[in-house]
Amino acid sequence: GNRNNAIAQLQSLAEAYPSHAPVLSAVVSQLFTADRPNEALVYLRRLSQLKSHRASAATREYEYLVSLPIDSSNRERWRDFVDTYGDLEVGVQGREELVRFDAKLNDPVWQGGRQGVQWVENGKGAEAVQQLQAAVTAYPDDVEFAGALGIAYLRAGDRALALHYFEQAKAKEPRIDRTYRWVSLIGSTR
């Protein structure tokens, strides 16, 4: 209940001991937990300047970046990551992720799927169905496309198809802490 005070104290310690890896790691962890990722990344980069912690800091940043949505601002984050850590194994993985990122940003089917998700969020699910069907076919692992298509079908009254896409989204959800939304939609649809 006093997280912000604890974070401030840890940040003070990090300033007093700028090369103390456990303190820097604690600040990073607390900032990520407090949903303050931009601040966490600053400390993570400081941690990466310590030679013995460079690889672990890069891996932590990679794990954060893969959780971000695909858009042009996050593409720049990947570019910076690759430029900073290109010499590490995780930097090679980052380069591969950047290639996938660019492929999606330049794919009209993926862009149509993103537009379909926006339409569903704006209450225009009927207009989104065709684009979302194409996106789910092209990107079957994208939980946002499957989930949005489920919502569009649910709003159209087709509970069976909605349930199918909610279950698909739940099965493909990469983060356990985000499955609650699909579980909730599955339960209410049934």
Chain segment 119-175, per-residue pLDDT in tens: 999 988 888 999 999 999 999 989 899 999 999 999 999 999 999 999 998 988 877
Burial class (CB in 10 A: 0-12, 13-18, 19+), 64: middle
Residues 6+ apart with CB under 8 A from 154: 162, 185, 189
Torsion sign across C-alpha atoms 174, 177, 178, 180: positive
* pLDDT one-digit tens code per residue, 73-104: 899 999 999 999 999 999 999 999 999 999 99
pLDDT band at 43 (very low <50, low <70, confident <90, very high): very high
At residue 7, the pLDDT reads 93
pLDDT band at 108 (very low <50, low <70, confident <90, very high): very high
Phi, psi of 175, rounded to the nearest 5 degrees: -115, 120
Phi, psi of 69, rounded to the nearest 5 degrees: -70, 160
Amino acid at 188: S
